[in-house]
Structure 1
Amino acid sequence: MSDPSGPRPPRRVAMVTVHTSPLAQPGTGDAGGMNVYVLEVARQLARLGTEVDLFTRTTSAAQPEVVEVEPGVVVRHVAAGPYEGLSKEELPGQLCAFAAGMMRVAAHAPPGHYDLVHSHYWLSGQVGWLAADRWGVPLVHTMHTMARVKNVHLADGDEPEPRGREIGEAQVVEAADRLVANTEREAAELVDLYGADPARVAVAEPGVDLVTFAPGSQAAARAALGVPADAVLLLFVGRIQPLKGPDVLVRAAAELVRRRPDLRDRLVVGVLGGASGSGVRTPMGLDVLAERLGIADLVRFVPPVDRPTLADWYRAADVVAVPSHSESFGLVAVEAMACGTPVVAANVGGLPTAVGPGGLLVDGHDTADWATALGRVALGPETRATLSRRAAEHAQGFGWARTAGRLLEVYREALARPKDVSIDDAERIADVPRAVIP
Structure 2
Amino acid sequence: MTKRIAIISEHASPLGSFGGTDSGGQNVYVGQTAKQLAALGYQVDVFTRRDDAALPELMLWHNGIRIIHVPAGPPEPVPKEDLLPHMGSFGRYVLAFARRQQRQNEGYHLIHANFWMSALVASQVKQHLGIPFVVTFHALGKVRRRHQGQADRFPNERFAVEEQVVEIADGIVAECPQDRDDLIQLYGAKADKIHIVPCGVDLSEFWPVPKAQARATLGLSMQERVVLQLGRMVPRKGVDTVIEAIAMLAQQNLPTRLVVVGGESPLPDPEKTPEIGRLQALTAKLGLQDRVTFVGQRQREVLKYFYSAADLFVTTPWYEPFGITPLEAMACGTPVIGSNVGGIKFTVRDGETGYLVSPKAAGELCDRIAFLYRHPDVLNLFGRQALRHVTRQFTWPKVASALASIYESVLAKTAAPDVSVDTTEADLAQMEARFDAAILALRQSRRLLSGDILAVSRRLSQCFSRGGKVLVCGNGGSAADAQHFAAELVGRFQCQQRAGLPVMALTADTALLTAWANDVGYNDIFARQVSTFAQPEDVLVVISTSGRSRNLIEAVAAAKARNVHCIGLLGGSGGDLLTLVDEAICVPSPDPQRIQEVQILTLHLICEWIEDDLQRSDRPVQRSLASVPPAKAIETPRPTASVSASQSG
TM-score (norm. length: structure 2): 0.61
Within 2, Cα distance between the matches of 1:317 and 1:408?
A: 36
- Using the TM superposition, give the Cα deviation of residue 190 of structure 1 relative to its aligned residue in structure 2, in angstroms: 0.7
Change (3 A) 1:12 1:298: same
CA deviation vs aligned residue, 1:361-385 (integer Å, no higher than 9, x gap)? 0023222111111222244311211
The equivalent residue for 2:378 is 383
The equivalent residue for 1:61 is 53
Q: 2:54 is matched by which residue type in structure 1? A: A
Q: 1:103 is matched by which residue type in structure 2? A: L
Q: 2:108 aligns with which of 114, 117, 129?
A: 114
Change (3 A) 1:325 1:284: farther
CA deviation vs aligned residue, 1:50-102 (integer Å, no higher than 9, x gap)? 11100000011111112211223111101001112532122110111001221
Q: What is the Cα-based RMSD across aligned positions, in Å?
A: 2.3
Secondary structure (helix, strand or coil) at the match of 1:327 reads coil
Q: How many residues align?
A: 412
Q: 1:291 aligns with which of 241, 262, 284?
A: 284
The equivalent residue for 1:187 is 180
Q: 2:263 is matched by which residue type in structure 1? A: G
Change (3 A) 1:311 1:413: same
The equivalent residue for 1:201 is 194
- Using the TM superposition, give the Cα deviation of residue 305 of structure 1 relative to its aligned residue in structure 2, in angstroms: 1.5
CA radius of gyration, larger in: 2
Higher relative contact order (CA 8 A, sep 6+): 1
Asked whether the equivalents of residues 53 and 76 of structure 2 are also in contact (C-alpha less than 8 Å), the reply is no
Within 2, Cα distance between the matches of 1:162 and 1:373?
A: 39
The equivalent residue for 1:410 is 406
Secondary structure (helix, strand or coil) at the match of 2:337 reads strand
The equivalent residue for 2:4 is 12
The equivalent residue for 1:399 is 395
Q: 1:271 is matched by which residue type in structure 2? A: V
Secondary structure (helix, strand or coil) at the match of 1:417 reads helix
The equivalent residue for 1:434 is none
Structure 2 unaligned spans of 5+: 266-271, 420-425, 434-649
Tell me if 1:274 matches 2:263.
Answer: yes
Asked whether the equivalents of residues 342 and 377 of structure 1 are also in contact (C-alpha less than 8 Å), the reply is no
Tell me if 1:138 matches 2:127.
Answer: no
Within 1, Cα distance between the matches of 2:181 and 2:202?
A: 27
Tell me if 1:339 matches 2:338.
Answer: no
Within 2, Cα distance between the matches of 1:207 and 1:89?
A: 26
Within 2, Cα distance between the matches of 1:364 and 1:303?
A: 24
The equivalent residue for 1:49 is 41
Asked whether the equivalents of residues 150 and 161 of structure 1 are also in contact (C-alpha less than 8 Å), the reply is no
Q: 1:128 aligns with which of 109, 122, 133?
A: 122
The equivalent residue for 1:231 is 224
Tell me if 1:103 matches 2:99.
Answer: no
- Using the TM superposition, give the Cα deviation of residue 110 of structure 1 relative to its aligned residue in structure 2, in angstroms: 2.4
In percent, how many aligned pairs have the same letter?
35
Within 2, Cα distance between the matches of 1:235 and 1:150?
A: 25
Asked whether the equivalents of residues 13 and 51 of structure 1 are also in contact (C-alpha less than 8 Å), the reply is yes
Q: 2:143 aligns with which of 127, 149, 153?
A: 149
Deviating more after overlay: 298-307 vs 385-394? 298-307
Change (3 A) 1:31 1:327: same
TM-score (norm. length: structure 1): 0.89
Within 2, Cα distance between the matches of 1:280 and 1:221?
A: 27
Asked whether the equivalents of residues 275 and 283 of structure 1 are also in contact (C-alpha less than 8 Å), the reply is no
Q: 1:407 is matched by which residue type in structure 2? A: L
Asked whether the equivalents of residues 16 and 118 of structure 1 are also in contact (C-alpha less than 8 Å), the reply is yes
The equivalent residue for 2:293 is 300
Structure 1 unaligned spans of 5+: 1-7, 432-438
Within 2, Cα distance between the matches of 1:16 and 1:85?
A: 17
Within 1, Cα distance between the matches of 2:207 and 2:178?
A: 27
Change (3 A) 1:347 1:161: farther
Asked whether the equivalents of residues 132 and 169 of structure 2 are also in contact (C-alpha less than 8 Å), the reply is yes
Q: 2:395 is matched by which residue type in structure 1? A: G
